[in-house]
Every structure is written in structure tokens, then in C-alpha cells.
């Protein structure tokens, strides 16, 4: 078993978290990824970059986001005291903007003039189009043709923000195919183009870089919990896992303290024996989009189609650091079905007056199951990764 305390210095130089991660890309992208890694490492040490990043998080994103005591949810579930980390209050309605801000600042620093991104449900596309508008940068977003049909509202948002939304028409015409198109574009235009990836996935250094742009979530939890409860570290952290960025952003500053139980909740869709997106629960190691991680695949190693009622969790891969955290046993991964997520939406809405995103609702469902294992003195923090406005159509249909 790997040593969990090593997490603070992972990945290694080649981008590995244990056996997972790395960089499996066409030759032409190797120098671009090295240049990116170099730029990221120097920016991280540069007080001017940090000041600019934190200034935008404060004045544009609206950070720090609140840490809300969920009094009635705590009463209802009858275990430890539950706090909600309110990423739903970020500008654009979810945590994704933390990373988009970090990466566009890096793009400017590197002198890139053209931004590309992939998007599934459109949330990362909206975050990217938002920061491109803010900085007056050209923005091209690849989106599966099928997803463009399903997520019209976000397509309108991106176009209003000035982005060029291009349909990916190959394969299943969803996120996996949009990502392939974005990689193809990057290969062709690598000189002036910066690729903003939307989760802790892809080749090194993306998983580490995206994580670092989200650890502000966990760092704020430490400060806010100390103010409210007199201690920085809770007993349990819980978050939903698609690619894994909101979860790792909250978990990471706590991983070295092994008395903090960390729980990631994947989407098990129609159930683990039906169509699902439970990559860590049922996937096997394989390479997708430039990294080695757990992957949903069939007997022949072909990537399977993922399914979840929540578009943001509907991805057959997962970030390599999560693969390693699962293997090392440091983080527990469980899953929640579409049905349980719908119950989670209703539970948080009715008890706290907070309508969560369907992704977040999976974490609520996971907590509803696990809260009973905790003591009334325990402190629990749930990452409320986004708000549910974008999902109202789906929620209304599922409830009728």
C-alpha cells in the first residue's frame, strides 16, 4: 500500500500519483506540456500572480464562499453537525470558475491569445467563456452535438459571452468526443493556443494544476471551521466525484491528517448493474485523454458510455489522483443512483432552502446514508459544488 502522507508532494516529476497519471499524448504536445508545467511552477511561486489570482477570486468570483451550518439537515439525519461549503454561491453558480480564473491568468502570462475548452453539460464551457469575456480573449468551446441538443441554455450562455461553440459529431457526440476534438485543435494550433481543461483529468500537469486552483475550497474550510467550532479539521468531508475537482479541492489540505475521513460519491445512474458512471467503483485502469486512471471499459478495453441523470458526472474517466487515493485507501468512494440523487435534491431544498445541482445532490445522498455512522459531536463538511437552477428542467421531469 502506498503511503498516504506522500500526497503533499505528489505527483512526482513525471506526473505520477503512484502508478496513475503520467502524460500519454502525441509527440507534438510534449514541449507544450513542458512549457505549461514550467509556467505553472514559476507562477505558483510568484507573489504578483498569487495576488492577481486571489484578487479575482475575491472581487469577481465572490470568495470566500460561506460555510453554512445546516441545522435542519443535521436534525433530520441525526448524526454529526453538518456544514455546507457554498461553492454554489460562486459567480456562474459552481466551483468550476476557480480553475478557469487560474488557467486564463496562466494563458495571459504565457502570451497565448486563443483559448480552447471542452465541455459536457456546458458548465465548464460557461466558466471558460466567462473568463474569456472578462479578459477579452478568443474562445472556442467544443461540445458534443448530442450535448448541444440537451443543454441549450448553456449553449445560449456561452454564445452570449462571445464563445464559438463547435459541435463534436464523432462517436457518441458527447464529452469524450468533444475532448478528442479539443486535443486535435490543440495539436494543430499549439503555438498560440491555451487549452483550459475543466477537471483534474488529462495529461500532467493538468491534474495537479487544476487541483491547486481548487484547494482554496479546503483552505477556506479550515479557517471558517476554526472560527465557528474552534478546530480546523472536521471528522468527515464529503463531495461528489465526476472528474474529481471539487472533491480534491476540498480534501487536499486535509489528506495528511488521517483522522479526517474523506468520502467521494460517484454516480451509479440506473444502478451498478445498469447504465452508470461509477468509474472508481467498477472501472479498471486504462488510458483516456492523456492519463492513466480508472476507466469504464468493456471486455475488449473499449471505453464504455457513462450514464448519470447529472450531466456533470456523466464521464467514463476520473482524475488519476483519485485513482491513487482509492488504491491507497486514504479516501472512501461510494456511489448514489439517479433516484437517490433526486431524493438528495429534495432533502436539501426542503430542509435548508438550498436547491443543489444534481451533481451535488449525489453527495447529499451519500451523506444521508453515512450520517448515521457519525456522533453528534462530529463535524461534517459537505461540498455544495453548485446550484440547481441549471437542472430545473430535468428535476421537474423526474419528479412528475
Is 112 catalytic? The answer is no
Q: Which is nearer to ligand PLP, 16 or 213 (CB)?
A: 213
Binding-residue pattern over the window 312 to 331 for ligand PLP, x denoting contact by CB under 6 A: xx------------------
We find the least distance from the C-beta atom of residue 278 to ligand PLP, in angstroms, to be 13
End-to-end CA distance of the chain: 48
- Using DSSP bridges, classify how beta strands 81-86 and 67-69 pair: parallel, antiparallel or unpaired: antiparallel
- Dist CA 32 CA 36 (whole Å): 6
Q: Of 344, 346, 207, 320, which is closest to residue 267 (Cα–Cα)?
A: 344
- Taking CB under 6 A as the binding criterion, the range among 62-70, 164-172, 178-186, 356-364 that sits at the site for ligand PLP is 356-364
- Dist CA 98 CA 56 (whole Å): 9
User: Which are the contacts of 81, defined by CB distance < 8 A and separation ≥ 6?
Assistant: 69, 74, 229, 376, 377, 378, 379, 380
- Dist CA 121 CA 390 (whole Å): 10
Measured at CB, which residue is nearest to ligand PLP?
A: 386
Binding-residue pattern over the window 35 to 74 for ligand PLP, x denoting contact by CB under 6 A: ----------------------------------------
- Dist CA 324 CA 247 (whole Å): 14
Figure out which of the listed residues 37, 151, 199, 297 binds ligand PLP, where binding follows CB under 6 A. Answer: 199
The one catalytic residue among 85, 96, 326, 390: 96
Per rule CB under 6 A, is residue 123 in the interface with ligand PLP? Answer: yes
We find the least distance from the C-beta atom of residue 110 to ligand PLP, in angstroms, to be 23
Q: Which is nearer to ligand PLP, 190 or 266 (CB)?
A: 266
Per rule CB under 6 A, is residue 357 in the interface with ligand PLP? Answer: yes
Cell numbers for 255, please give them.
Answer: 489528506
We find the least distance from the C-beta atom of residue 385 to ligand PLP, in angstroms, to be 3
User: Which are the contacts of 288, defined by CB distance < 8 A and separation ≥ 6?
Assistant: 176, 295, 303, 316, 317
Is 328 catalytic? The answer is no
Is 118 catalytic? The answer is yes
Per rule CB under 6 A, is residue 243 in the interface with ligand PLP? Answer: yes
- Dist CA 222 CA 248 (whole Å): 15
- Taking CB under 6 A as the binding criterion, the range among 17-25, 167-175, 241-249, 300-308 that sits at the site for ligand PLP is 241-249
* Residues shown for the chain: 400
**Coil/strand/helix, residue 119:** strand
Q: Which is nearer to ligand PLP, 103 or 245 (CB)?
A: 245
The number of C-alpha atoms within 13 Å of 97 and in the hemisphere containing its C-beta is 27
Figure out which of the listed residues 321, 338, 352, 359 binds ligand PLP, where binding follows CB under 6 A. Answer: 359
Size of the site for ligand PLP (CB under 6 A): 19
The residues annotated as belonging to the active site are: 96, 118, 385
Q: Binding residues for ligand PLP, per CB under 6 A?
A: 94, 96, 123, 199, 240-247, 312-313, 357, 359-360, 385-386
Amino acid at each position: 500500500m502506498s503511503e498516504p502522507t506522500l500526497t503533499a508532494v505528489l505527483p512526482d516529476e513525471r506526473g505520477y500519483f503512484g502508478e496513475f497519471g503520467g502524460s500519454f499524448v502525441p509527440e507534438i504536445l510534449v514541449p507544450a506540456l513542458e512549457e505549461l508545467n514550467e509556467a505553472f511552477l514559476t507562477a505558483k511561486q510568484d507573489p504578483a500572480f498569487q495576488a492577481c489570482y486571489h484578487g479575482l477570486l475575491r472581487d469577481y468570483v465572490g470568495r470566500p464562499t460561506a460555510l453554512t451550518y445546516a441545522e435542519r439537515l443535521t436534525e433530520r439525519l441525526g448524526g454529526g453537525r453538518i456544514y455546507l461549503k457554498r461553492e454554489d454561491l460562486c459567480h456562474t453558480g459552481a466551483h468550476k470558475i476557480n480553475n478557469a480564473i487560474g488557467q486564463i491568468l496562466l494563458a495571459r502570462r504565457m502570451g497565448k491569445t486563443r483559448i480552447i475548452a471542452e465541455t459536457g453539460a456546458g458548465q465548464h464551457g460557461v466558466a471558460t467563456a466567462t473568463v474569456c469575456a472578462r479578459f477579452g480573449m478568443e474562445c472556442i468551446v467544443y461540445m458534443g452535438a448530442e450535448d448541444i441538443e440537451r443543454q441549450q441554455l448553456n449553449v445560449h450562455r456561452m454564445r452570449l459571452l462571445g464563445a464559438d461553440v463547435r459541435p463534436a459529431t464523432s462517436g457518441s457526440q458527447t464529452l469524450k468526443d468533444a475532448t478528442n476534438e479539443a486535443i486535435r485543435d490543440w495539436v494543430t494550433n499549439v503555438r498560440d493556443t491555451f487549452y483550459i481543461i475543466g477537471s483534474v483529468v488529462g495529461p500532467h500537469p493538468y491534474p495537479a494544476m487544476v487541483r491547486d486552483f481548487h484547494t482554496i475550497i479546503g483552505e477556506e474550510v479550515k479557517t471558517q471551521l476554526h472560527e465557528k467550532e474552534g478546530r480546523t479539521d472536521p471528522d468527515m468531508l464529503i463531495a461528489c466525484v465526476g472528474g474529481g475537482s471539487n472533491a480534491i479541492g476540498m480534501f487536499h489540505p486535509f489528506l495528511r491528517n488521517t483522522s479526517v475521513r474523506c468520502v467521494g460519491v460517484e454516480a451509479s445512474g440506473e444502478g451498478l448493474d445498469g447504465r452508470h458512471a461509477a468509474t472508481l467503483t467498477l472501472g479498471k485502469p486504462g488510458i483516456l485523454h492523456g492519463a492513466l486512471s480508472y476507466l469504464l471499459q468493456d471486455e475488449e478495453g473499449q471505453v464504455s458510455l457513462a450514464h448519470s441523470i447529472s450531466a456533470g458526472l456523466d464521464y467514463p474517466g476520473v482524475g488519476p489522483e483519485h485513482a491513487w487515493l482509492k488504491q491507497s485507501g486514504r479516501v472512501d468512494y461510494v456511489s448514489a443512483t439517479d433516484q437517490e440523487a433526486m431524493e438528495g435534491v429534495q432533502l436539501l431544498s426542503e430542509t435548508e432552502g438550498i436547491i443543489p445541482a444534481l451533481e451535488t445532490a449525489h453527495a447529499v445522498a451519500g451523506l444521508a446514508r453515512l450520517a448515521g455512522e457519525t456522533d453528534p459531536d462530529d463535524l461534517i463538511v459537505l461540498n455544495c459544488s453548485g446550484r440547481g437552477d441549471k437542472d430545473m428542467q430535468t428535476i421537474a421531469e423526474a419528479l412528475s
